[in-house]
Structures are given as structure tokens and as C-alpha cells.
Amino acid sequence: MNLTHLDSNDRPKMVDVGEKEPTKRKATASGVISMSREAYEAVISNSAKKGPVVQTAVVAAIMGTKKTPELIPMCHPLLLTGIECEVEELPDLPGFKLYVTAKLDGKTGVEMEALTGVSIGLLTIYDMLKAIDKGMEIRDIRLESKEGGKSGDYKRQR
């Protein structure tokens, strides 16, 4: 099996996408953070001492998506055309599910950007609520769907 991030001498390399034609690409990732009822209520009532948790997490998710090539060594710097975030309240858990969708017209996919955005957004929620609940749990960070590129479309089966 040939690994695309290794050269013929087994040294790390960034894949050359120079010859590829740009296509429309889109990827959506998600992740969940569970927490105590007290922490959840602080978010819902907007009474967390560090400020508006959901809004801050969305901004962090967008920033994380944009900074992916600075954090993941073999990711290409990309000219993203859009980033969308959605936060779903999970009162029965209690917790939240964060979705990040990244879009571009380019030569490489945006799965890593969406996954990084989700990770940073959820870590921001943890940071903002850790004074209330250090036992929060971040889990199920995963690719939900992707469109475009040579490997075609993908949609997670529920």
C-alpha cells in the first residue's frame, strides 16, 4: 500500500496537488460534549462567568477551521469559500452537538478543516465551563459527509 504522505524513501511529504483540476468541495463534521446539568444550564441561561459560550465556541470553530494547515502538518493552506456552524442542544444528555461545514473550490478536500473546527469549538466549550465541570467529555468527533473530489461523495450511515 502506497501512503500518499511518504516519498519513495519513506520520508514525510505533502502531497502535490498542482496537476489536479479545482472542483467544488464541501465537508461536514460533528462532535459532542457532555456535561453536568449545572454546566448545561449555565450555557442555556447565558450565565457562564467567561461569557456567551455558544457564540464563542462558534467563533473558535471558524478560527480552528481556518488554521488547520498550521496545526496538521500535511494539510494544504486552502482558500475557503465558506464555513458554517450549527450547535444542537442535547438537554437529555445534557450537552451539545457541534456541526462544522467547510466549503471551497479547490484541488484538495476540506474534511480535515471541518474536523479541526469541531475539535476547537468543543475544546472552547470545555475551557469556558471547566470551572463548573471538569468532568465534561468530548466524543464522537467524526466526518458526517463530504462532496467533490476524486474519491467522490461520502455520507455517514446513521
CATH of residue 65's domain is 3.30.70.640
Other CB atoms within 10 Å distance of the CB of residue 31: 22
Q: Is 16 a catalytic residue?
A: no
Catalytic residue from among 16, 105, 127, 140 = 127
Q: pTM of the prediction?
A: 0.90
**Tens of pLDDT, residues 72-81:** 988 999 999 9
**Tens of pLDDT, residues 53-69:** 999 999 999 999 999 99
| Count: domains in the chain | 1
Is 14 a domain residue?
A: no
Is 88 a domain residue?
A: yes
Dump the DSSP string for 103-140: EEEESS--HHHHHHHHHHHHHHHHHHHTTT-TT-EEEE
Is 61 a domain residue?
A: yes
Section 99-111 average pLDDT: 93
Please give the pLDDT value at position 2: 65
> Domain residues for 93?
23-148
Is 8 a domain residue?
A: no
Please give the pLDDT value at position 42: 97
Higher pLDDT, 2 or 55: 55
Is 156 a domain residue?
A: no
Please give the pLDDT value at position 5: 66
Is 1 a domain residue?
A: no
Q: Tell me the sheet residues that pair with 29.
A: 100, 143
